[in-house]
């Protein structure tokens, strides 16, 4: 197991400089997992390479992969309306929200607090209307509850069962919506009022998964291989195609902005990056999961602090380090 190298040095630096208390870095290729290292301790708990972490929005591309399996089976299309699966949705809307809109943050659904107490399916039917579907881009967690509902409707199986089947098929056996795997505590000091326990009780298909570095690396390996164990190559290519480049954004988030495909995000600051065709997703808790196909690399960084970019954790540095590793 490597103890040096640009990516490992980057991960160690985040802990040594006090930006995050713990960090687990993993790298894989088409050949499989190449390296996993852990740094730091939190409240006396030493980080280990097999620790579970709250993944937050790294959940989104995994949910999208699950839903796209129903598209491959001919049970859904990207143009299928959400109202077909959730008849109570959009009663006051004059537009049509499709699966493509949901997976690319173009639904116009007003996003409630992620730790709200209302059951997600009920929140979906009660959701307000921010803009006409497809006309703008605004990040929306609740849209992924809509996508999960469509997968259930099409597949006639609970969404979680479908996602766990994807996990089993790709060797990501530790992925779970259950908080009983002793995950690292998420530090929320920078976001007063966020109730992480309430959020996870929602089992949110946009933010609720727990997992290990091995889980994400195993799934990433199958994607790099284009093996078809997650989704077929044509589906995977479609998911990586940016769908928001020419659509105006509504955002209060800091740069760098990211383009969105279907569940996957692509960095918009391409001129600052050594690699091309990068795709993956960050999570609010500092988690990162990215594929660099030209370099045959998947990288995972897991930690447990909200808003890490505000603390100096720079994903561009990580991605350039991985490209050089």
Question: Residue 24: which residues within 8 A CB-CB, separation 6 or more?
Answer: 11, 36, 37, 38, 39, 47, 48, 49, 51, 53, 212, 213, 300, 301, 302, 303
**H-state helical runs in the chain:** 6-16, 59-72, 82-85, 99-103, 120-126, 143-155, 159-169, 196-201, 213-225, 233-239, 315-324
Quick one: CA dihedral 123, 183, 256, 276, positive or negative? negative
**Token digits for 148?**
């999960």
Q: How would you class 234 by CB atoms within 10 Å of its CB: exposed for 0-12, middle for 13-18, buried for 19 or more?
A: exposed
Looking at residues 21-41, what average pLDDT do you find?
97
Residue 281 half-sphere exposure toward CB, CA atoms < 13 A = 28
Higher pLDDT, 190 or 85: 85
Q: What is the pLDDT of residues 33-57, one digit of tens each?
A: 999 999 999 999 999 999 999 999 9
> Maximum CA pair distance of the chain?
57
The pLDDT of residue 248: 84
Domain 6-324 sits in CATH at 3.40.710.10
The pLDDT, as a whole number, for residue 35 is 94
Residue 224 backbone dihedrals phi, psi, to 5 degrees: -60, -40
Look at residue 193 and tell me whether its pLDDT is greater than 80.
Answer: no
Q: How far apart are CA 237 and CA 179, in angstroms?
A: 32
Tens digit of each residue's pLDDT (9 = 90 or more) over 52-77: 999 999 999 999 999 999 999 999 99
Q: What is the pLDDT of residue 2?
A: 61
* 233 Cβ contact partners less than 8 Å away, ≥ 6 residues apart: 226
Global confidence as pTM: 0.96
Domains of the chain, residue spans: 6-324
Spatial CA neighbour of 299 closest among 48, 110, 316: 316
Q: Are 136 and 106 in contact (CB under 8 A)?
A: yes
E strand or H helix that includes residue 37: strand 32-42
Closest Cα to residue 108, out of 94, 87, 88? 94
Are the C-beta atoms of 253 and 214 separated by less than 8 Å? Answer: no
pLDDT band at residue 251 under the 50/70/90 scheme = confident
Q: Quote the pLDDT of residue 289.
A: 98
For all residues of the chain together, what is the average pLDDT? 94
CB 256 within 8 A of CB 249: no
291 token code pair: 């594929």
Residue 170: strand pairing partners: none
Confidence of residue 259 (pLDDT cuts 50, 70, 90): very high
């Amino acid at each position: 197991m490597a103890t040096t190298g640009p990516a490992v040095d980057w991960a160690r630096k985040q802990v040594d400089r006090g930006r995050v208390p713990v960090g687990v870095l993993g790298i894989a290729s088409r050949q499989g997992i190449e390296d996993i290292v852990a740094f730091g301790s939190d409240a006396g708990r030493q980080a280990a390479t097999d620790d579970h972490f709250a993944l937050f929005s790294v959940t989104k591309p995994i949910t999208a992969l699950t839903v796209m399996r129903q598209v491959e089976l001919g049970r859904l299309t990207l143009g299928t309306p959400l109202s077909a699966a959730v008849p109570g949705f959009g009663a006051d809307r004059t537009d049509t929200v499709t699966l493509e809109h949901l997976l690319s943050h173009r639904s116009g659904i007003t996003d409630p607090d992620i730790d709200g107490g209302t059951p997600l399916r009920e929140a979906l039917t009660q959701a307000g209307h921010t803009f006409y579907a497809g006309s703008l881009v605004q990040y929306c967690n609740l849209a992924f509850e809509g996508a999960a509902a469509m997968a259930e409707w099409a597949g006639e199986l609970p969404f979680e069962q479908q996602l766990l089947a994807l996990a089993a098929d790709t060797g990501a056996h530790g992925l779970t919506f259950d908080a009983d795997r002793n995950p690292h505590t998420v530090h929320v000091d920078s976001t007063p009022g966020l109730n992480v326990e309430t959020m996870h009780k929602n089992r949110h298909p946009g933010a609720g998964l727990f997992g290990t570095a091995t889980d994400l690396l195993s799934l990433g390996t199958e994607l790099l291989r284009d093996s078809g164990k997650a989704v077929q190559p044509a589906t995977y290519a479609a998911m990586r195609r940016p769908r928001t480049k020419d659509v105006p954004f509504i955002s209060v988030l800091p740069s760098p902005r990211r383009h969105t495909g279907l569940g996957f995000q692509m960095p918009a600051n391409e001129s600052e990056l050594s690699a091309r065709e990068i795709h993956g997703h960050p999570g609010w808790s500092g988690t990162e999961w990215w594929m660099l196909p030209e370099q045959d690399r998947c990288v995972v960084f897991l930690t447990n602090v909200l808003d890490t970019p505000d603390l100096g954790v720079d994903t561009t540095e990580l991605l350039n380090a991985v490209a050089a590793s």
